[in-house]
Structure 1
């Protein structure tokens, strides 16, 4: 493998806003518009590394785009060495802390840097990291929000058939526990016993509610129960994990691999699902995956299905990929789904190319 040396010429960050086909309706928020920040690292050698961030809230882009512009000024003329750039980005923001927006900005830069490096090697990212092109098992997370339970049966069949999925995620956390149970029953009857069902409370419960509600669904044959309480209450998660038979899933709010280590040390979960913009991009994922692998903990992904597919091919305890197509409208060639698997394209890098006409129509 020959990998050309690359030098950063510029870093650009462009904010776009997409309209969600199925709005996010969770106990803690309703989201109809989905923000993306498109990141391009242009190198002196002509290779462009690409990534995007999904910061949930449109107004958060007011802070993240300037942070990425500051990194542009910091890294012009430097070699594209992703691990070094990642560490330098974090250290440059040390005095405002390693979590939150600092980590998110560094993560976006990191993913684009790895994309550029893999393109320079003329290899798909997963191949450059020692894996191979292939398919990745995924579940559909595009819907089943807090709707009326009676409306979920039809939607669950639509979601199943979008890609021949064998797994679906259902959101819980309605005001009445009985309505959550009704929603679960409606979906299960519609899709059958062979469907893997994951449920997500989106941090909507306090510990007392979680103890009651999680026990109520503990015999429903679920693949996991996800984030019933606020993400940083690791002591509460440890209590839930000790009491429940159903695997407990957390991790999308781990800001860096050390936070995963803390959670596993406290036995706060049975499964982990890092988010690329919080765990530290590709660099942070590799470090976190090693921790989970050493502990024998299955690792799933959160958002970012394109880079996630590559990383699952090189993750020791790879479990499920979360499929969401929310970025597809601005991608030139979205990844292909078939029979519940996401197929990595045999192209250099991550495989992200922008549909510039669609981007221009959605810039803010």
Structure 2
């Protein structure tokens, strides 16, 4: 079997036109005058209507099998990387040669990558190759990774952004419990620039959700890289009596030393890894004792080929793996591992940023029913491109083939 064609779809971010009444701490907060309202600050990748925020790939073979994958949100340049750097390396190759293909793409882009858009681009191709392998063997991808470890995966509802209206926040959280979720993740709204008042407001946000859902439901909270080390330690200590399951990404991802010091200074588990790349990056994260919970973003950090190694590394360290996002590739990796107790689910209602649109781009993506996700037993990832949605959001399209000499046609 040979790879004959790669289609690359660059898709724009839509908007419903309504004003935003929610926000989260982000690494952009430090760029703003503290007097600027959080509602007037930009949220990365969440409200840029008309800007390309998703890149989807289809990989075709000469035996009629087609695999699909997509790049981590926010990387329009990935299409160019695929066209100029990766497609010439992959076209004509056997899709079963996963490790060789991964190393070929990675090593050829070391000078422009190692982390960031080059690895994100190869992640999409790698995921599509695993989809092809499953279809070619007639097996769901989780069977290729070790088989089922359970009948369904417990899900956590991931939303509950910061709001001025605490009653609305409480109602949102109660709604997820009523839908059957036994775990929820919320977002902090304030950071160092907001001073002591902001810390009190963060506690108020957490206390509001905790009161709404009770003590039997797990509650995690995300800072999305919006804090610094000193603030993170003080803030986490301030909410420890509220029983958070974890605090996610308290500081910038390269501050591995700060992660480790934060983790040693608090009793609440610390999670991270959404913005880390490759096995080597996660090796450094775990060797430093930086996190209690590992959260790879599979279509950002290297695809399934690299992710399965990170899962094994985490298991060797006795750590849980709760990957970022609820796409099919995550569900298959989770299903095949005893180290992954939860899958993240972005509810359909409310916030509609680019990271939730894959449910529109692909038919068959995981959905929660009464707080649980059942994985498809269809061959491959169990998803197919929704061509109507692709047409609706498409900004550009590439069809890449090789000629007889191996050059792009």
Matched-pair contact (CA < 8 Å) for 2:153–2:341: no
Number of aligned residues: 353
Matched-pair contact (CA < 8 Å) for 1:173–1:205: no
Q: Deviations over 1:145-201 (max 9, x none)?
A: 12215131111123334x521111110142311111111111111111111101001
User: Superposition RMSD on alpha carbons, in Å?
Assistant: 1.9
What is the CA-CA distance between 1:285 and the residue it aligns to?
Answer: 0.8
CA distance in 2, matches of 1:20, 1:236: 36
- 267-276 or 315-324, which deviates more: 315-324
Normalised to the residue count of structure 2, the TM-score between the two structures is 0.82
CA distance in 2, matches of 1:128, 1:348: 10
CA distance in 1, matches of 2:228, 2:165: 23
2:228 pairs with 1:206: yes
Higher RCO structure (Cα 8 Å, ≥6 apart) = 2
Name the counterpart of 1:144: 160
2:327 pairs with 1:305: yes
Q: Deviations over 1:114-150 (max 9, x none)?
A: 1101110011000122212831122111x21122151
Matched-pair contact (CA < 8 Å) for 2:71–2:78: no
Name the counterpart of 1:3: none
Name the counterpart of 2:311: 289
Structure 1 residues without counterparts, runs of 5 or longer: 1-5
Choose from 251, 256, 260 the match for 1:229.
251
Name the counterpart of 2:360: 329
What is the CA-CA distance between 1:305 and the residue it aligns to?
Answer: 2.5
Residues 149/237 of structure 1: CA separation in 2 closer, same or farther (3 Å cut):
farther
Name the counterpart of 1:35: 53
CA distance in 2, matches of 1:135, 1:20: 33
Name the counterpart of 2:182: 166
2:62 pairs with 1:64: no
Structure 2 SS opposite 1:237: helix
2:73 pairs with 1:78: no
Normalised to the residue count of structure 1, the TM-score between the two structures is 0.92
What is the CA-CA distance between 1:20 and the residue it aligns to?
Answer: 6.6
CA distance in 2, matches of 1:333, 1:300: 21
Matched-pair contact (CA < 8 Å) for 1:289–1:316: no
What is the CA-CA distance between 1:47 and the residue it aligns to?
Answer: 0.3
Name the counterpart of 2:125: 109
Q: Deviations over 1:97-128 (max 9, x none)?
A: 31111111111111000110111001100012
Name the counterpart of 2:374: 343
CA distance in 2, matches of 1:359, 1:189: 41
Name the counterpart of 1:44: 62
